[in-house]
């Protein structure tokens, strides 16, 4: 008989569910799939509870070992989940057709409310920033797992090796290759363990007010010179303040004014759920969830998930 029995399962589930969910999301890039894999992880833990041995690993490490193996199995033969910016170069036409590419399994944003109490989950949220999640999808599955376990969850190398049924030498080699790939993708590991900057929220709030006022000049002032705009499921993306400005002019020309934006916690920061007025009835209908990267007081990236189905992930209404 091990050190735990099945009655411990409820306590484990309550304590670690959010932690395991965040881990599965980092691995899969999909909230829907991560939720399914969390259930599979705890089902396996339930079945193996009487064999758990605390001398080999903490409960947290043991659960992450199970979750990692569940994720690695799920990833076999699957295409990675990209953002438009990881599929090709930026476009140069803000007036290009906005044709959804529904053949791509796009990366999904993460609703922070699924983690639980924000005061108890600061580290999980810091490791959910969208730029990091997108960069992780560039890694082979086992490298991805090694990096998440070591850099995000901060497990010692020996525990990472235990979770991966590997050796410390092999884990360190995987980490070296993974870090090199992420360095080439940008500064996604910088500030990994830092909480969200309150100044970022203030920038997004100013963006909200400018957007609702259809204030193109105000929006433009909030953008970094090299800002990127992405719009999955459209595979077009744009780079540069000028292109962003032109695109917003196009949006207001096409959709009109009178938008309403609501702040929602997503990927460790503040996102905006955007509702646009129906031209026939004036009813405000779900349009997109916009997730921002903010640095040095400017918006560096806006990923606009222009699929009303994303609202279901956040439990948001279809109309406002």
Q: What's the sign of the alpha-carbon dihedral 259, 263, 264, 269? A: positive
Assess whether pLDDT exceeds 70 at residue 120: no
DSSP category for residue 91: B
- Domain ranges for the chain, please list them: 6-78+128-185, 198-313
Q: Supply the pTM of this predicted model.
A: 0.93
Q: Which residue from 267, 263, 251 is spatially nearest to 208, judged by alpha carbons?
A: 263
CATH architecture for the domain at 6-78+128-185: Up-down Bundle (1.20)
Fold for 198-313, please state it.
Answer: Nuclear Transport Factor 2; Chain: A, (3.10.450)
pLDDT exceeds cutoff 80 at 1: no
pLDDT of residue 255: 92
Q: What is the pLDDT of residues 26-44, one digit of tens each?
A: 999 999 999 999 999 999 9
pLDDT at 77 over 90: no
Q: Which long-range contacts (CB under 8 A, 24 or more apart) does 225-228 make?
A: 226/300, 227/298, 227/299, 227/300, 227/301, 227/302, 228/85, 228/90, 228/300, 228/301, 228/302
């Amino acid at each position: 008989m091990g050190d735990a029995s099945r009655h411990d399962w409820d306590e484990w589930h309550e304590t670690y569910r959010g932690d395991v969910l965040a881990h599965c999301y980092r691995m899969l890039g999909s909230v829907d799939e991560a939720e399914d894999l969390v259930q599979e992880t705890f089902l396996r833990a339930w079945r193996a509870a009487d064999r758990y041995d605390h001398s080999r690993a903490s409960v947290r490490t043991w659960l992450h070992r199970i979750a990692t193996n569940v994720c690695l199995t799920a990833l076999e033969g699957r295409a990675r989940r990209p953002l438009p910016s990881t599929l090709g170069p930026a476009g140069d036409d803000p007036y290009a057709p906005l044709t959804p590419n529904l053949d791509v399994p796009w990366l999904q944003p993460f609703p922070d409310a699924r983690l639980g109490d924000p005061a108890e989950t600061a580290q999980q949220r810091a490791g959910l920033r969208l730029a990091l999640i997108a960069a992780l999808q560039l890694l082979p599955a086992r490298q991805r797992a090694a990096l998440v376990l070591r850099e995000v969850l901060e497990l010692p190398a020996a525990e990472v090796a235990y979770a991966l049924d590997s050796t410390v030498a092999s884990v360190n080699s995987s980490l070296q290759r993974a870090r090199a790939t992420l360095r080439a993708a940008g500064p996604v590991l910088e500030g990994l363990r830092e909480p969200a900057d309150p100044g970022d929220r203030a920038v997004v709030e100013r963006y909200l007010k400018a957007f609702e006022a259809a204030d193109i000049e105000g929006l433009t002032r909030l953008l970094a010179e090299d800002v990127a705009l992405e719009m999955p499921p459209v595979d077009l993306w744009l780079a540069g303040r000028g292109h962003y400005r032109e695109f917003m002019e196009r949006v207001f020309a096409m959709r009109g004014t009178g938008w309403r934006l609501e702040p929602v916690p997503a990927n460790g920061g503040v996102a905006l759920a955007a509702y646009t007025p129906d031209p026939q009835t004036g009813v405000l209908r779900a349009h997109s969830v916009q997730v921002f990267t903010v640095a040095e007081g400017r918006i560096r990236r806006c990923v606009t998930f222009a699929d009303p189905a994303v609202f279901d992930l956040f439990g948001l209404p279809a109309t406002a």
